[in-house]
Amino acid sequence: MEMVNTNVLSKKPEKILLKDALDLFLAEDVFSPINMPPFNQSAMDGFAVLFDETHQNNFTLVDEIKAGDNNKRKLNIGEAVRIFTGAPTPTNANAVIMQENTSVENGVLNIDDTLTDYKNIRLEGEQIKQKQIALQKGAKLNPAAIGFLATLGITEVSVHPKPKISIVITGNELVTPGTPLAFGQIYESNAIMLQTALAKKGFTDITLVKVKDDYNDTKTVLNNVIEQSDLVLISGGISVGDYDFVGKALLELKTQQIFYKIKQKPGKPLFFGKNQNTIIFALPGNPASALTCYYIYIESALQKIIGNPNYSKPTTTLTLSNEYIKKGTRGEFLKAKATGSEVEILGSQSSAMLNSFAQANALVYLEDDVKMVKKGEKVKTYIID
């Protein structure tokens, strides 16, 4: 994971419309262009008054101000105006009394409330003053942040944009779902699996490409997608079989291999590299292996690309609700179901099986030297969603 984080850089900042910036991260500080509120503003429906020691309970009603009015009225001591939530208070009003604590008779406002300076008035610049930092570099633009910037009149922000992604599918045995299966063929599922996993996180600029198990075709396709993409995900063809051409083609295209093969199960033949500014993951063809590598490595890379300054895969320690015996000496990511403080390791752990992954909301990780975990033991758990 550290090698991924070290070698993936954020995309160059771009100015985009605020409405398109959901879940991206600011590439620079944003300063408020105005005071907010931009004027003294009533916090409720009621009456704005100008009181002093001699005028505390009775006021002469002289006007009405509703939200959107732009007259800059001033009051004399002992005067009041009917006012509504969000409306500008008279420039010298020093309190707003909620209507429930008042009565009006013959143009005289009577109040049953204690008056204090600027009660129920949102003062100009109370939320933020002009030229103050509204949001700092690295802030996530969630709906509240976008709404806040919109209240300041901001329509564009500088962010690290989402990447252009290509998914390359290899394998002559793979056919598109919906077409008849000949003997020896299987339905291709990694493309739609990865595409929907990416879309769930908001990454939708995706190109799907199918390539034959042919060296020249593989090299040509990879060269094209590397030139056109910020991130390339390759499914299959990365092992050492006679028809696995991905690794050889990537190296001939002068791709920098950062690592190839990792001591884990599933996902041992994972390749990670860079070609110019393009990040490349060559994933195992087995569906559960590919999805595990997506959750553990690719999601982190994506967050780095869009400038998330503090991302780490959510992990926790949960109590195991069933026993599991591990075979082999590699660390294992196990499909699991977390419920409250407990987690259950599911069946069908084969790297080719997605049936248990469809029920999983977590991956339990067992270190390479662990041979067995018993019910009731604490286990490291990655939460996936």
Q: Measure CA 144 to chain center.
A: 13
Does any domain span residue 296? yes
Look at residues 305, 335, 361 and tell me which one is the last residue of a structural domain: 305
Asked if residue 27 belongs to a domain, the reply is no
Do 233 and 193 belong to one domain? yes
pTM: 0.89
Per-residue pLDDT, 310: 85
Say yes or no: 85 and 60 in one domain.
Answer: yes
Quick one: CA dihedral 313, 316, 319, 325, positive or negative?
positive
What is the domain extent for residue 359? Answer: 315-383
- What's the pLDDT score for residue 12? 96
What is the reported pLDDT for 7?
94
Q: What pLDDT does residue 13 have?
A: 98
Segments of the chain scoring below 50 in pLDDT: none
Question: Does 329 share its domain with 255?
Answer: no
Which of 270, 287, 305 finishes a domain? Answer: 305
Please check whether residue 152 lies inside any domain of the structure: no
Q: How many CA atoms lie within 13 A of 15 on its CB side?
A: 4
pLDDT score recorded for residue 334 = 98
310 falls within a domain: no
Same domain, 325 and 279: no
Q: How far is CA 286 from CA 133, 335, 376, in A?
A: 49, 15, 31
CA-nearest of 264, 233, 257 to 332 is 264
Residues 64 and 85 in one domain: yes
In-domain check, residue 128: no
Question: Which pLDDT does position 177 carry in this prediction?
Answer: 94
In a domain, 289, yes or no: yes
Count of domains in the chain?
3
Q: Do 258 and 213 reside in the same domain of the chain?
A: yes
- Report the CATH number that the domain containing residue 267 is assigned in CATH: 3.40.980.10
Cα distance between residue 82 and residue 104, in whole Å: 10
